[in-house]
C-alpha cells in the first residue's frame, strides 16, 4: 500500500507533532511504501524568511531521522524537489470550481487566526491535492480535522477524470487515533500558542517546562480528576496501560500532589526522547548524508511524479519538448 503524508517545516518539532503524526509515520514504514515530503512550498504561506525556511526544512529531516525513520524503507524528501507538483496543482485548478475552495474550513480557520488572506493560502487545497494525487497514493493518514482535505482531493480527482479520462487515483483517508495533545497551558499544543514541549530538549530545560504545566488548585489530600488534568493526558501518551491505570486510581483516591505526576512525566520524557538526543547530534554532524537522503528520495519520488504527469498531460493535450 502506498502511503503519503506531508510535514510542514513551520517551527521546532514538539510533542504534539510527535504523537499526532511522527509516531504513526514511523510505525507505518514497516509494512508500506511510504512517501513523506517536507512541505516547504506550503510553508511559504506563513514563513517568508529564506534562511529560516531552509533551516526549518533541515530540522524536520533531522528530527525524523533521529526518531527512527529508516531512509532505506521510506522516501523522505523536500516537496520542492518534485516541481511537477505545482504543475498538477494548476491543472487541478482548471477543473475545480471556486465553490469547493470557498468551503475549505482550513482557510476559514487560518483567516480567523489573523493570517493574511493570500492566494497561496486560499489555493492551499489545490497544492495539497496535487501532493497526494501525483504519487497515486492509496492512503493518507490524517486526523479527523483534516478529513475534508482528502474529500476535496477525491473531488478534484473525479473532476479531472470526468473531464478528460481516468488517470488519477482516488485516495482514502486513514484516520489515526492521535489524541489532542495539550500544551503547558492546557490548550492544544501548538507553536502559535507558545505552549509546546519540544523534542530533544536538554534535561534541565525539559524538566522546567514540564513542571510548569498548568494544573488546578485541588489540595494534595483531595481526589483529583484524571479526565481534566493536562499532566495526566500527557502521561497517558508515554506510560504503559498498567501504569496509567495505577495513576488513575491514585488520582481518584487522593493523597498525592501534581508535582509527583509531573516528576514521573519528566522521567518518561527522558526515557523516550533523551535517548534520541545522541541520534540527533549524530545526524546533525552529517549534513552531507542528510542531503544525500533527501536528494535520493526526491529523485525516486520525482520519477513517480513524472510518470503521472506524462499521463496527465497526454489526457489534457498538453505537449512539452523532450
Active-site residue flag, 236: no
Q: Is 115 exposed, middle or buried (0-12, 13-18, 19+ CB in 10 A)?
A: middle
- 131 near 79, Cβ under 8 Å? yes
Q: Which of 23, 73, 191, 236 is catalytic?
A: 191
Round to whole Å and give the CA distance between 31 and 33. Answer: 7
Of the candidates 219, 199, 223, 220, which has an alpha carbon nearest to the alpha carbon of residue 209? 199
Q: Which of 23, 98, 144, 188 is catalytic?
A: 188
Q: Which of 23, 73, 108, 110 is catalytic?
A: 110
* 159, three cell numbers: 473532476
DSSP string over 209-236: HHHT-------TTS---GGG-HHHHHHH
Q: Which sign, positive or negative, has the C-alpha torsion 292, 298, 303, 306?
A: negative
Active-site residue flag, 108: no
Active-site residue flag, 110: yes
* 263, three cell numbers: 516528576
Tell the residue number behind the cell numbers 503524508, with chain if given.
5
- Residues taking part in catalysis: 110, 188, 191
Amino acid at each position: 500500500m502506498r502511503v503519503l503524508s506531508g510535514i510542514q517545516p513551520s517551527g521546532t518539532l514538539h510533542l504534539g507533532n510527535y504523537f499526532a503524526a511522527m509516531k504513526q509515520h514511523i510505525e507505518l514504514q514497516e509494512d508500506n511504501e511510504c512517501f513523506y515530503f517536507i512541505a516547504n512550498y506550503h510553508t511559504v504561506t506563513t514563513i517568508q524568511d529564506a534562511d529560516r525556511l531552509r533551516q526549518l526544512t533541515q530540522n524536520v529531516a533531522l528530527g525524523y531521522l533521529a526518531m527512527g525513520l529508516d531512509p532505506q524503507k521510506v522516501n523522505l524528501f523536500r516537496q520542492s524537489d518534485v516541481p511537477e507538483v505545482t504543475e498538477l496543482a494548476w491543472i487541478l485548478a482548471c477543473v475545480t470550481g471556486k465553490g469547493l475552495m470557498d468551503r475549505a474550513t482550513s482557510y476559514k480557520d487560518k483567516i480567523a487566526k489573523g493570517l493574511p488572506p493570500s492566494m497561496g493560502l486560499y489555493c492551499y487545497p489545490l497544492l495539497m491535492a496535487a501532493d497526494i494525487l501525483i504519487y497515486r497514493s492509496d492512503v493518507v493518514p490524517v486526523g479527523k480535522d483534516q478529513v475534508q482535505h482528502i474529500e476535496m482531493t477525491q473531488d478534484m480527482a473525479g473532476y479531472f477524470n470526468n473531464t478528460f479520462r481516468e488517470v488519477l487515483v482516488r485516495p482514502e483517508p486513514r484516520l489515526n487515533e492521535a489524541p489532542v495533545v495539550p500544551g503547558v497551558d492546557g490548550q492544544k499544543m501548538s507553536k502559535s500558542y507558545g505552549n509546546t514541549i519540544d523534542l530533544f530538549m536538554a534535561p534541565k530545560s525539559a524538566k522546567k517546562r514540564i513542571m510548569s504545566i498548568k494544573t488546578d488548585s485541588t489540595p494534595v489530600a483531595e481526589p483529583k480528576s484524571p479526565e481534566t488534568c493536562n499532566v495526566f493526558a500527557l502521561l497517558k501518551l508515554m506510560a504503559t496501560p498498567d501504569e496509567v491505570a495505577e495513576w488513575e486510581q491514585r488520582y481518584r483516591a487522593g493523597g498525592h500532589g501534581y508535582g509527583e505526576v509531573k516528576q514521573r512525566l519528566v522521567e518518561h520524557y527522558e526515557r523516550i526522547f533523551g535517548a534520541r538526543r545522541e541520534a540527533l547530534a549524530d545526524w546533525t554532524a552529517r549534513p552531507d548524508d542528510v542531503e544525500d537522503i533527501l536528494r535520493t528520495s526526491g529523485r525516486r519520488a520525482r520519477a513517480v511524479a513524472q510518470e503521472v504527469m506524462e499521463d496527465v498531460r497526454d489526457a489534457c493535450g498538453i505537449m512539452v519538448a523532450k
